[in-house]
Amino acid sequence: MTTNTETVTTETDAKEVVLAFVQAINDEDFKTARSLASDDMTFQGVLGARDGGDAYIQDMEKMKLKYAIQKAFVEGDDVCLFYDLTMSGKTIVGCGWYQVQDGKVHSLKVLFDPRPFLEGGK
């Protein structure tokens, strides 16, 4: 059985990992972001999926996303962020579910309306 102290430590650690990961992407410090992503990280989004930390970070280098976190929810190694996401001068509301294993982001699933980012989107 997990004690409250262990749960708090796990949740604090998971949140710190995710917040550092997102901050590194915001800062375009992709080396740090990659160090916080597991080699076998999986990503599922509204426009596709990626397998592997390298593939995900390579996409982030091209996309130049900026996150403004509005709220973080944590349960164990699961962290959910609600954020404003800005790319190419357009901002949308999004949500990301991050799962942390062994101190690294292992899985990320995101939800948002991609239409403003697509050509011709309004």
- Residue-range domain boundaries for the chain: 4-116
pLDDT at 117: 77
pLDDT at 51: 97
Residue 87 has pLDDT above 80, yes or no: yes
Which residues are CB-contacts of 57 (< 8 A; sequence separation ≥ 6)?
A: 30, 33, 34, 37
Which residues are CB-contacts of 60 (< 8 A; sequence separation ≥ 6)?
A: 25, 30, 33
Q: What is the DSSP code string of 13-41?
A: HHHHHHHHHHHHHHTT-HHHHHHTEEEEE
Residue 80 has pLDDT above 50, yes or no: yes
Specify the CATH class of 4-116 in words. Answer: alpha beta
**Residue 114 — pLDDT band, cuts 50, 70, 90?**
confident
pLDDT at 4: 47
Query: Length of the chain in residues, anyone?
Result: 122
Output the average pLDDT for the chain. Answer: 90
pLDDT at 7: 47
The pTM of the full predicted model, rounded to 2 decimals, is 0.87
